């Protein structure tokens, strides 16, 4: 019997790839107006490459870090600009683009009506996740939130799945992990959780974890009530 559904955030509940690229366009428009850069694409290309190569733990590739902008400025030989200020501008542009998703709200309400607990489990920074929850108005629909930065463990380390199990007070065998990453999220199966792959925003270039890919127990396109309901039925029937 399923007693909990756990969801990754980036590229599962929200299209982080598109969010970052749209935010970078906002930022480069601002940088041009300030006279800091003349062309947008060289900056975007350099930033994306630097972000992709940064595999440090407990950082946000979506919410960004000051060091990512500092390295971009150094590569493009841009001087007399504060990476701290640019980070603040970038994050504000990004926050302005996050809005409630009615499909997700409906899905979480559906699960809770079925007395299935709902949680978030993500390799992210606390600041980014707090903003996401606030802007999407999901706080009252969540039973637990586990963030890698706070527990100092990252997926696919099995210990982080134990953390969400403890937080929910639900056995791993009674839990489903929903995510876009067969390495990071698929590792939940090592502790007996079911793994559902969410494909709508899946981006192989937006994965920094290393390890073995795990075959999902079920595949859905998006986190929508109809797809989740069908998935629960499929898993209950052992198909």
Q: Residue 80: its pLDDT value, please? A: 85
Structure tokens at 8: 């990754």
CA nearest to 175, candidates 2, 31, 16, 39: 2
Query: CA–CA separation, 71 vs 58, rounded Å?
Result: 18
Instruction: For the beta carbon of residue 216, count every other beta carbon within 10 angstroms.
Output: 20
Is 90 exceeded by the pLDDT of residue 238?
A: no
Against a cut of 0.85, is the pTM above it?
yes
pLDDT digits over 217-231, tens only?
999 999 999 999 999
CA nearest to 143, candidates 168, 178, 177: 168
User: Hunting for tokens 């198909």 — which residue is that?
Assistant: 239
DSSP state of 63: T
For residue 178, what are the β-bridge partners?
7, 196
Do 180 and 235 form a contact (C-beta atoms < 8 A)? Answer: no
Do 161 and 188 form a contact (C-beta atoms < 8 A)? Answer: yes
Share of the chain above pLDDT 90, in %: 94
Q: Residue 150: its pLDDT value, please? A: 97
CA nearest to 223, candidates 4, 80, 14: 14
Do 226 and 109 form a contact (C-beta atoms < 8 A)? Answer: no
Q: Residue 236: its pLDDT value, please? A: 84
pLDDT digits over 180-200, tens only?
999 999 999 999 999 999 999
Structure tokens at 163: 């953390």
Which residues have a Cβ under 8 Å from the Cβ of 127 and sit 6 or more positions away? 60, 63
| Ramachandran sector of residue 39 (left: φ over 0; alpha: ψ -120 to 50; beta: rest) | beta
For residue 144, what are the β-bridge partners?
119
Query: CA–CA separation, 221 vs 200, rounded Å?
Result: 5
Q: Residue 163: its pLDDT value, please? A: 98
Q: Residue 239: its pLDDT value, please? A: 47
């Amino acid at each position: 019997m399923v007693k909990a559904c756990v969801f990754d955030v980036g590229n599962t509940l929200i299209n982080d790839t598109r969010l970052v690229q749209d935010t970078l366009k906002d930022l480069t428009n601002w940088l041009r107006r300030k006279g800091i850069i003349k062309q947008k694409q060289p900056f975007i290309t350099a930033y994306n490459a630097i972000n992709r190569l940064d595999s440090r733990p407990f950082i946000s590739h979506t919410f960004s870090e000051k060091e990512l902008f500092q390295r971009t400025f150094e590569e493009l030989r841009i001087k007399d600009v504060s990476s701290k200020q640019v980070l603040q501008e970038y994050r504000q542009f990004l926050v302005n683009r996050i809005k409630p998703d009615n499909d997700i709200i409906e899905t979480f309400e559906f699960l809770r009506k079925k007395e299935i607990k709902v949680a978030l489990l993500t390799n992210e920074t606390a600041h980014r996740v707090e903003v996401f929850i606030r802007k999407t108005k999901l706080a009252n629909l969540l039973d637990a939130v586990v963030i890698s930065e706070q527990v100092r463990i990252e997926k696919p380390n099995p210990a982080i799945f134990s953390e969400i199990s403890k937080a929910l007070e639900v056995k791993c065998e009674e839990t489903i992990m929903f995510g876009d990453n067969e390495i990071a999220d698929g590792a939940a199966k090592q502790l007996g959780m079911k793994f559902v792959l969410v494909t709508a925003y899946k981006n192989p270039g937006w994965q920094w974890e290393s390890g073995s890919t795990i075959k999902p127990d079920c595949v859905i396109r998006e986190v929508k009530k109809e797809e989740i309901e069908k998935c629960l039925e499929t898993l209950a029937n052992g198909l």
